[in-house]
Amino acid sequence: MSLPEIVSRAEWRAARAELLDKENAVTRALDALRAERRRLPMVPVDREYVFEGGDGKATLLDLFQGRQQLVVHHFVFEPEWETGCRCCSAFLDQIGHLAHLHARRTTFAAVSRAPFTRILPFKARMGWTVPWYSSDAGDFGADFGVVSERDGAAEGGELPARPGVSCFPRDGDRVFHTYSAHGRGLEGLGSTTSLLDLTALGRQEPWEEPRGRAHALGAPATPEHPRYHDEYDD
């Protein structure tokens, strides 16, 4: 096994300082990229989608659970499967406590094509508590790029499914689509801030560009610092 070079502490500090300059440049570049993402236009979602969850039938608006934003994990779980995709399962394992997202008026939910009767036992086996809905054989995944024509048709003529994340804000009862990511675009996601960084309202901090967007939609001018997850008033 090849390990890093052995050096003195002084040499390590010099190398670390040089790398830190590069890391800070990447952080600034990521801030600019996230601001550009928040400036993406949005598309009205006028089509009616029907999901099934723990409380029965639900619309896309219902999935918001009354909050301002919705982040959907397109979890690959095909109707004929007994268990879900292993990569999607590893992703869902990384999702933190949802109270911190809820404090930023953002709901997270998983959606799969498998019937809810198959989702439920697998969800229990994995010990997950995130909201999870079945889109059944509907077109929700295909409409938001989870089934990709670029990947070609799978055996039997059906297009292959792929994991993804899509973001939706709402204005009253009107729902909009602002962003989707797939493939390597999901790398590094899972923390509260990483998911918020995909959304139109972002982290809702005063320094974020475009300035004032989140506050104009009702977010506090000075967002509260993170609390223990059992201390939030949702």
Angle between helices 116-126 and 86-93 in degrees, nearest 10? 50
Alpha carbon 210 to chain centroid, angstroms: 21
Q: What is the mean pLDDT of residues 106-115?
A: 96
182: which strand partners?
164
Residues 156-179: pLDDT tens digits?
445 467 899 999 999 999 999 999
- Predicted local distance difference test score (pLDDT) of residue 150: 46
- Enter the tokens of residue 85: 């995709």
Give tens-digit pLDDT for 59-100: 999 999 999 999 999 999 999 999 999 999 999 999 989 999
Q: How confident is the model at residue 192 (pLDDT cuts 50, 70, 90)?
A: very high
DSSP state of 52: E
36: its two tokens: 């550009």
pTM of the model: 0.89
Structure tokens at 59: 């619309």
